[in-house]
């Protein structure tokens, strides 16, 4: 892309409102160092020196949107617990609108605790429930989305398969989108992919795409077949398959498949890179980019966040800078 076109799209970010619906999580980071092995079991003992918290799952998508200067509303479910309070605190500090997070006292807020020593993850512990939400909770979520103003023309659905995105809820969301005229992008899990038929754009990593296709993607031929098959099955304007150090592949409704090589980058952590990809692609589309431009910008954004430790975000300035490299 030409520099002028990049700046034209980036300049529209602050005037754009993106709704995000999905599984809300809190990431807890326990930082320390290892000095010995436990006498109780052959495991390292981590001397903890600090804690930090970041938004995870769909909440990280909203964090990415706000970091890029956009207006972001997060819609989902959390518990009535200390984790929910901490998650909302993190999000509000970043500027994310959290009124759409419905409290469900029957399920805990998903918490992922990562213990980091010497910049290496030692272990991760998850606290979560994955049973499906009740229809009454789904109805409250739909009502909230319906109440948002006409400036919210794009809904990003971030699926982590934690029980939020039930067939009942997704069917109602797509029906609402048809009535109100907003577009949907989605990052589905393979088990739920059939629910997202009719989305404007669907993003999957290569492992997820293999599972959704029903066959391993092990060469360019199977990649092409999988991408085209999934796009037709979903009736999407485009399907993106992210491929790690091999870059990304876009399969558009109109035109030939479009492959983008990965940027040369020192990778520290891929946590949350998929969140960044769909956030930037959706935001770019909302700002007038075509599919190729949106995916190209998302590929550049991913190259920034994988250089950072943890579920990281990037700014408009960082995205603009890497697009000039």
* CB distance 217 to 210 below 8 Å: yes
Rounded to whole angstroms, the Cα distance separating 109 from 129 reads: 8
**Residue 313 gets which letter from DSSP?**
-
Catalytic residue, from 23, 27, 159, 275: name it: 275
CA-CA-CA-CA torsion sign (149, 152, 156, 158): negative
Beta strand 71-78 pairing with 97-103: parallel
Q: CA-to-CA distance for 135 and 99, rounded, in angstroms?
A: 19
How far is it, in rounded angstroms, from Cα 204 to Cα 193?
10
**Helical packing angle, 316-323 and 291-305, nearest 10°:** 100
- Report CA Rg, the chain: 19
User: Phi and psi at residue 150, in whole multiples of 5°?
Assistant: -70, -10
Examine the residue annotation and report whether 275 is marked as an active-site residue of this protein.
yes
Q: Which one, of 45, 53, 121, lies nearest residue 84 by Cα? A: 53
* Separation between Cα atoms, residue 79 and residue 24, nearest integer Å: 10
> Which residues carry out catalysis?
275
């Amino acid at each position: 892309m030409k520099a002028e076109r990049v700046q034209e799209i980036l300049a529209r970010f602050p005037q754009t409102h993106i709704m995000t619906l999905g599984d809300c999580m809190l990431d807890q980071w326990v930082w320390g160092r290892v000095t010995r092995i436990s006498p109780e079991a052959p495991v390292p003992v981590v001397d903890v020196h600090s804690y930090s918290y970041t938004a995870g799952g769909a909440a990280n998508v909203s964090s990415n949107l706000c970091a890029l200067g956009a207006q972001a509303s997060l819609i989902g479910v959390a518990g009535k617990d200390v984790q929910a309070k901490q998650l909302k605190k993190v999000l509000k500090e970043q500027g994310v609108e959290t009124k759409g997070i419905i409290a469900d006292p029957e399920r805990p807020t998903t918490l992922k605790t990562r213990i980091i020593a010497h910049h290496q993850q030692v272990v991760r512990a998850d606290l979560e429930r994955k049973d499906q939400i009740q229809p009454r909770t789904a109805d409250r979520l739909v009502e909230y989305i319906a109440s948002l103003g006409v400036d919210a023309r794009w809904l990003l659905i971030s699926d982590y398969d934690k029980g939020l995105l039930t067939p009942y809820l997704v069917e109602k969301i797509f029906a609402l989108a048809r009535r109100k005229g907003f577009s949907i992008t989605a990052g589905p899990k393979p088990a739920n992919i059939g629910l997202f038929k009719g989305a404007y754009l669907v993003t999957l990593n290569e492992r997820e795409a293999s599972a959704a296709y029903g066959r391993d993607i092990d060469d360019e031929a199977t990649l092409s077949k999988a991408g085209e098959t999934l796009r037709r099955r979903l009736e999407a304007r485009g399907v993106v398959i992210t491929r790690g150090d091999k870059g990304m592949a876009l399969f558009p409704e109109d035109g030939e498949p479009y492959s983008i090589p990965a940027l040369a980058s020192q990778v520290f952590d891929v946590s949350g890179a998929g969140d960044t990809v769909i956030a930037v692609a959706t935001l770019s589309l909302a700002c007038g980019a075509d599919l190729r431009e949106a995916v190209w910008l998302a590929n550049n954004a991913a190259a920034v966040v994988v250089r950072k430790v943890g579920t990281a975000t990037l700014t408009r300035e960082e995205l603009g800078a890497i697009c000039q490299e």
